[in-house]
Amino acid sequence: MKVVFLDRKFNPNEISLEKLFGFIKKSISSKGIYIQNIENPFGNGIINLFKSILFYRKSVKNDSIVHITGQIHFAAIGLRTKKIIITVHDLGLYKNWSFMRFLIFKIFWIYLPFRRAKVIVAISEKTKQEIAQIMPSVLKKVVVVPNCVTIDIAKDIVINRETVAKVLIVGTRENKNIKNSISALHNLQVEVFIVGKLEKEYEDLLHSNKIRYKNYFNISDEELKILYQKADVLLFASIYEGFGLPILEAQAQNTLVVTSNILPMNDVAGEGAILVDPNSIDDIKKGLNIALTLSNEEKIEMIRKGKENLKRFSVENISNQYINIYEKL
């Protein structure tokens, strides 16, 4: 069997999809499946969109199994093959766009590609719900295959016993709910690690709340792993995600998790997290206080639940689910 993967144009500042499918492709390849990667050579813009469609039409053979790994859904439009899988990571952020931008998005990223696809893979039940809302006619094509763990899983359970607890926040975009997260940290005796460039508004809020923090951005995977290892708690009170990979990364590194009690975060976290209402500063603070005051025995139990949860998201498990899809085409 041969699978042709269509990947977005490489951007060194946005490598989450490449990292994810790097693990999946390696696992699939190890099972005897031949893989061909075709990267989109064109950037953004409406002219480049049409160039990309023509490029993939010329590059892919008529009977190929094609897997579009994310973002470039439009690559399906011109393909001659009918064996097309599209992995959809999220659709929710379009809601704040202008009418014309949304119209272009709906035509070229949703309506035309989804009609062509044989299988549409949603990475979470939340993403599946979004697909159903925007194009219910394709729901019968949709299957849920979650993301896999993309970080080493620590073998030993280590309890951090430093006097000042460390809280880690990963991501600073608007959907990450940074304002409420920072406000919830007020009067807590903690040091905060924030990954992602901070806007001045958030820096001012940190200073006004007298919160000790360090800001990191453009860091390597290894540097991020070290931050997980140093942190006592991951605070991931996001109001919107397609999946929520930092939850799994924290569980893999024996870090307690406080996350949102909404899809997909509560589903991804399983029993290995403290769940909070992301719209309530008081509830986020309450969740943090619970995490920070757990006994060592309670921490160990929570970490063990997180490790058990990770089994659902192993590379082996996720790659096998994709192989099952390829074999049925």
Give the pLDDT score at 95: 67
Q: What number is the average pLDDT over the span 95-117?
A: 89
**Which amino acid belongs to residue 59?**
S
Q: What number is the average pLDDT over the span 43-47?
A: 91
Q: Is pLDDT above 70 for 160?
A: no
Q: Is pLDDT above 80 for 96?
A: no
pLDDT-wise least confident of 6-10, 12-16, 217-221, 247-251: 12-16
Q: Is residue 306 within 8 Å of residue 268, measured between CB atoms?
A: no
Residue 275: what are its φ and ψ, rounded to 5°? -100, 140
Q: Is pLDDT above 80 for 14?
A: no
Q: What number is the average pLDDT over the span 50-73?
A: 96
Q: What number is the average pLDDT over the span 283-289?
A: 98
Q: Where are the beta strands (DSSP E) in the chain?
A: 2-7, 34-39, 65-68, 84-88, 119-122, 142-144, 165-170, 190-195, 212-216, 233-236, 256-260, 274-276
At 187-205, the pLDDT tens digits run: 999 999 999 999 999 999 9
Q: Is residue 183 within 8 Å of residue 283, measured between CB atoms?
A: no
The residue among 162 and 15 whose pLDDT is bigger is 15
Give the pLDDT score at 93: 64
Q: What number is the average pLDDT over the span 137-162?
A: 88
Q: How confident is the model at residue 157 (pLDDT cuts 50, 70, 90)?
A: confident
Concatenating the DSSP letter of every residue in 90-103 gives: --GGGGGS-HHHHH
Give the pLDDT score at 156: 74
- Domains for the chain: give ranges and CATH numbers: 2-148+314-328 (3.40.50.2000), 165-312 (3.40.50.2000)
Give the pLDDT score at 197: 92
What whole-number distance in Å separates Cα of residue 93 and Cα of residue 177? 14
Q: Is pLDDT above 80 for 176?
A: yes
Q: Is pLDDT above 90 for 101?
A: no
Q: How confident is the model at residue 2 (pLDDT cuts 50, 70, 90)?
A: very high
Q: Is pLDDT above 80 for 124?
A: yes
Structure pTM?
Answer: 0.91
Give the pLDDT score at 92: 73
Give the pLDDT score at 90: 86
Omega prior to 113 cis, within 30 of 0? no
Q: What number is the average pLDDT over the span 304-321?
A: 97
Residue percentage of the chain with pLDDT more than 90: 86
Give the pLDDT score at 12: 78
